[in-house]
Amino acid sequence: MTLRALAYGPSPLSLSADTPVREVLRHMLEQRINHVALRGSDGRFAGLVSVQGLLSRIIPASARVDHGLADLAFVGDALPMLIAHFRDVAREPASVLADRGGRVLRSDTPIMEAALMLSRSPSPLPVVDADGFLVGVLSARSMLAFLGAQAEAA
């Protein structure tokens, strides 16, 4: 059985991968959403942008990367630095923020594999069809609801 048996949540807002981050953030704040899907020039899914990913990008690279600083308590508020980073990131195309960790479900992903990926993901995962077009998102809650219904039916 594959993910086709599950009910996906509605696709998140989809924007062009070239959209400036500033615009992406505006949509996120106005619509109170945490994720925006990106599409390439061919309309195919090009990644997911999350508020967490955006915030991470604003943090100094020295703390963001592997073997970087473990904490920034000694930096203080450093508001001017954060604002400067915010302005830098806001100008960039959203594609630089796209989650390229490969955490994407396909509509033919087996249920067990999907459950495993969801258990390791802090947020819902996008679902794409065989052609790479976004068809929805799947959350851990949806998976649990499905499994619960299956358990009762059995």
Residue 84 CB, shortest distance to other proteins, in Å, is 7
Residue 66 CB, shortest distance to other proteins, in Å, is 6
- Contact predicate 36/24, CB 8 Å: yes
Expressed in angstroms, the distance from the first to the final Cα of the chain is 15
Residue 40 CB, shortest distance to other proteins, in Å, is 23
52 vs 62, beta carbon nearer other proteins: 62
1 vs 73, beta carbon nearer other proteins: 73
Least Cα distance to 78 among 62, 94, 67 occurs for 62
CB proximity list for 20: less than 8 A, separation 6 or greater: 90, 91, 92, 93, 94
33 vs 75, beta carbon nearer other proteins: 75
Give the chain's largest Cα–Cα span.
59
Residue 78 CB, shortest distance to other proteins, in Å, is 6
Dist. CA 135–CA 145, nearest whole Å: 19
Dist. CA 3–CA 17, nearest whole Å: 26
79 vs 154, beta carbon nearer other proteins: 79
78 vs 145, beta carbon nearer other proteins: 78
**Applying CB under 8 A, which residues contact other proteins?**
60-69, 71-76, 78, 80-81, 84
